[in-house]
């Protein structure tokens, strides 16, 4: 098996589902804030569906700067040793916001 750890498979779709099967974590970085966060692929599948990991780039909001454009995602397969000390950000809930819109009668 070719070693693709820590690197994206260019031109060859690598999906969240494949990462989930392999036991990867997804590293999401904001290039603006230089913040790194780790996610479970299964949580991201709930948000994005089983998409190519590259498609997450620019689609996840950085919780610090509230920007999307500097956000990059990559799959990482970590050894048990590497996982020690890593805090994975889990999906707590998906909130659907209900907004009321009023309109004057014509």
41, 19 Cβ separation under 8 angstroms:
yes
- In 1-106, at which residue ranges do the beta strands (DSSP E only) sit? 25-30, 35-39, 71-76, 88-89
Q: Residues interacting with Zn ion, by CB under 5 A?
A: 30, 32-33, 62, 64-65
Q: Nearest approach, Cβ of 105 to Zn ion (angstroms)?
A: 44
Instruction: Give the nearer residue to Zn ion in terms of CB position, either 33 or 45.
Output: 33
Least Å distance, CB 63 to Zn ion, is 8
Least spacing, CB of residue 29 vs Zn ion, in Å = 9
Per DSSP bridges, beta strands 25-30 and 88-89 are unpaired
Q: Among candidates 69, 83, 85, which has minimal Cα distance to 29?
A: 69
CB 40 within 8 A of CB 17: no
**C-beta closer to Zn ion: residue 33 or 47:** 33
Taking the least distance from each CB to Zn ion, the nearer of 5 and 69 is: 69
């Amino acid at each position: 098996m070719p070693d693709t750890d820590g690197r994206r498979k260019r031109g060859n779709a690598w999906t969240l589902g494949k990462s989930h099967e392999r036991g990867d974590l997804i590293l999401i970085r904001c290039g603006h804030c230089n913040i790194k966060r780790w996610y479970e692929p299964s949580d991201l599948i709930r948000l994005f569906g089983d998409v190519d990991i590259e498609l997450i780039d620019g689609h996840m909001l950085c919780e610090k700067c509230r920007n999307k454009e500097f956000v990059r995602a990559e799959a990482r397969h970590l050894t048990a040793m590497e996982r020690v000390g890593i805090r994975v950000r889990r999906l707590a809930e998906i909130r659907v916001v209900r907004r009321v819109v009023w309109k004057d009668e014509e």
